[in-house]
Amino acid sequence: MQDAVWLNANLATLREDGAPYGEIRDGALAVKDGRIAWIGHRSEWTGAAAREHDAGGAWITPGLVDCHTHLVYAGNRADEFEQRLKGATYEEIARAGGGINSTVRTTRAAPEAELAESAARRLRQWIDEGVAVVEIKSGYGLNTVSEAKMLRVARQLGDRVKVKTTFLGAHALPEEFKGRPDDYVALVCDEMLPAVSPLSDAVDAFCENIAFSVKQTARVFTAARNLGLAVKLHADQLSDSGGAQLAAQFDALSADHLEYTNEAGIEALARRGTVAVLLPGAFYFLREKQLPPLGALRRHRVPIAIATDHNPGSSPLTSPLLAMNLACTLFRLTPEEALAGITRNGARALGMHATHGTLEAGKCADFALWEIESPAELAYVAGSNPNAGTVRDGEPVPSA
Ligand code: NIG
Ligand code: FE
């Protein structure tokens, strides 16, 4: 006897079995003990379940996985948005002490309870849009105490949605280390990383000419590896910095942004199975011109994920569905690639593909129901939310 079954639903399983979206029209999906116990055509469903849900013809997809966010921070940067509209660039603002460091000042000053409250409020939109898993980075503390504070807040949000935390101590050079980047990298490796590793599922860095060099990033990754932590990288967002090669060299779970990655970088990602995470929100918001190398990523069969990159500076985007739309309109992903990017490959970018990202027997019963006529509508709607319910560990989630 199963715990529950959903009938009268079309299933976009996102399994790579040939059918577009891995679709099963008129399907049945049964759950037991928080796992998917049976999935297939309704005509083949002969089991029994304690509860029967009529999905009313809705589509069911895997719960969405937003694999790259900076969701915990204090304040906002609307003033920089205005400055940029008057002609200043993201780099200029960063070099003048604004940018990431301005959010560092507000986040350091914010009491933990206040950070938790603002992040929980923001997170509601993710939950409303059928999200099962959110990755949340630190990186606005830039000292041990404040990075730990951010990671604790992120972990606490795990009572609302599944959370993966990523330590991003190497996000920017804090003001007090001006002119001494190697000293700061030493602090990240020798003090911060050991202190926050119990609060972290992975380690990330911003490898860029306005942030940390390949050599400095490699040092952080080596320290992470010595602690047994997986790595990810903000790579080649604003220039070709060799970030993708570095990520691959360290067997990173993902290399993210990648607008400037060259063919050799993509080959390296392909060889190591590193996921390419594309972040159209930042591309849009910063009005970037250099498109990520989608053709080469496809040619080399690099798994492509997409994510919101929600943060107060370069991507205030709060909608995973809109991220799908932007991935299609700006980067020319197909709606199927966009949905795979925010389910199957998003899960892979977090090392969660054994339990999330597709609808398959044995995986966690985390899925979303949608009032749509075809799965392409999820990337097509630009601003509305067709979510008609979300199920976590086999249980319907009350709307946030
Ligand atoms: O992913 N690239 C670095 N980090 C963020 C921006 C953070 C900020 O501007 O506050 C990003 O785009
Ligand atoms: Fe980011």
DSSP 9-58: EEEE---SSSSGGGEEEEEEEEEETTEEEEEEEGGG----EEEEEE-TT-
| Token code pair at residue 180 | 């001494």
User: What does the block give as tokens for 191?
Assistant: 């003090």
> What distances in angstroms separate CA 30 from CA 4, 13, 27, 60, one per listed residue?
6, 13, 10, 12
Residues making up the chain, counted from first to last: 400
pTM, two decimals, is 0.98
Tell me the percentage of the chain whose pLDDT exceeds 70. 100
State the average pLDDT for the chain: 97
- Biggest alpha carbon–alpha carbon distance for the chain: 69
Question: How far is residue 293's CA from residue 307's CA, in Å, rounded to a whole number?
Answer: 17
Whether residue 256 has its Cβ less than 6 Å from ligand 1:
no
d(C-alpha 306, C-alpha 179), whole Å = 35
CA of 375 to the centre of ligand 1 (A): 30
Query: Cα separation of 258 and 290, whole Å?
Result: 10
- Report the nearest atom of ligand 1 relative to the CA of 77: 10
Give the Cα separation of 104 and 139 in Å (integer): 8
CA distances 42 to 25, 56, 198, Å, are 9, 14, 44
Ligand 1 binding pocket includes 73 (Cβ within 6 Å): no
- Please report the DSSP string for 293-329 in residue order: -HHHHHHTT--EEE----BTTTB----HHHHHHHHHH
Is residue 400 predicted with pLDDT exceeding 80? no
Q: 176 by DSSP, 3-state: which?
A: helix
Query: Half-sphere exposure of residue 396, counting CA atoms within 13 Å on the CB side?
Result: 14
53, 47, 55, 62: which is closest to 2 by C-alpha?
A: 47
Hey, whose CA ends up nearest to atom 8 of ligand 1? 313
Report how far ligand 2's centroid is from the alpha carbon of 283 (Å). Answer: 11
**Ligand 1 pocket residue status of 282, Cβ below 6 Å:** yes
Q: How far apart are CA 340 and CA 198, in angstroms?
A: 31
pLDDT of 1? 96
Question: Confidence class of residue 237 from pLDDT cuts 50, 70 and 90?
Answer: very high
Taking the chain, what is the end-to-end CA distance rounded to the nearest angstrom?
A: 31
Look at residue 384 and tell me whether its pLDDT is greater than 80.
yes
Spacing, Cα 69 to ligand 1 middle (Å): 9
Q: Can you give the three-state secondary structure of 340-396, one letter per residue? A: HHCCHHHHHHCCCCCCCCCCCCCCECCEEEECCCCCCHHHHCCCCCCEEEEEECCEE
Ligand 1 pocket, residue 206 CB under 6 Å: yes
Would the CA dihedral through 324, 329, 330, 334 be positive or negative? positive
User: No. of H helices and E strands in the chain?
Assistant: 16, 16
139 CB less than 6 Å from ligand 1? Answer: no
Residue 166 near ligand 1, beta carbon < 6 Å = no
Task: Name which residue sits closest to atom 9 of ligand 1, judged by CA.
Answer: 313
| Ligand 1 atom nearest 237 alpha carbon | 2
Quickly state the pLDDT bin for 109 (edges 50, 70, 90): very high
To 10 degrees, what angle do helices 144-156 and 112-128 make? Answer: 40
Q: What is the pLDDT of residue 17?
A: 80
Task: Report CA(140)–ligand 1 centroid distance (Å).
Answer: 10
Please report the pLDDT score of residue 105 as a whole number.
98
- CB of 102 closer than 6 A to ligand 1? no
Does the C-beta of 204 come closer than 6 Å to ligand 1? no
**pLDDT tens across 127-167, in order?**
999 999 999 999 999 999 999 999 999 999 998 899 999 99
- The DSSP annotation for 205-257 comes to EEESTTSB-HHHHHHHHHHHHHTT-EEEEEESSSS--SHHHHHHHTT-SEEEE
**Which residue owns the Cα nearest ligand 1 atom 1?**
309
Residue whose C-alpha is closest to residue 321's, from 343, 304, 302, 303: 343
* Test site for ligand 1: of 234, 277, 286, most ligand atoms within 8 A of the Cβ: 234
Q: In angstroms, what is the span from residue 20 Cα to ligand 2's centroid? A: 30
**5-26 residue pLDDT tens:** 999 999 999 999 889 999 999 9
The ligand 1 atom nearest the CA atom of 100? 10
**Cα of 359 from ligand 2 centre, angstroms:** 28
303 in contact with ligand 1, CB cutoff 6 A? no
How far does residue 234's CA lie from ligand 2's centre (Å)?
6
Question: How remote is the CA of residue 6 from the centroid of ligand 2, in Å?
Answer: 37
Answer whether residue 27 shows pLDDT above 70.
Answer: yes
Dump pLDDT digits (tens) for 301-339. 999 999 999 999 999 999 999 999 999 999 999 999 999
Nearest bound ligand to the CA of residue 171: 1
Q: Distance between CA 321 and CA 382 in Å, rounded? A: 8
Nearest ligand by distance to the CA of 232: 2
Question: Is residue 314 lining ligand 1, measured as CB closer than 6 Å?
Answer: yes
Residues 253-266 have pLDDT tens digits of 999 999 999 999 99
Helix (H, G, I), strand (E, B) or coil at 7: strand
Note whether 62 and 366 are within 8 A (CB).
yes
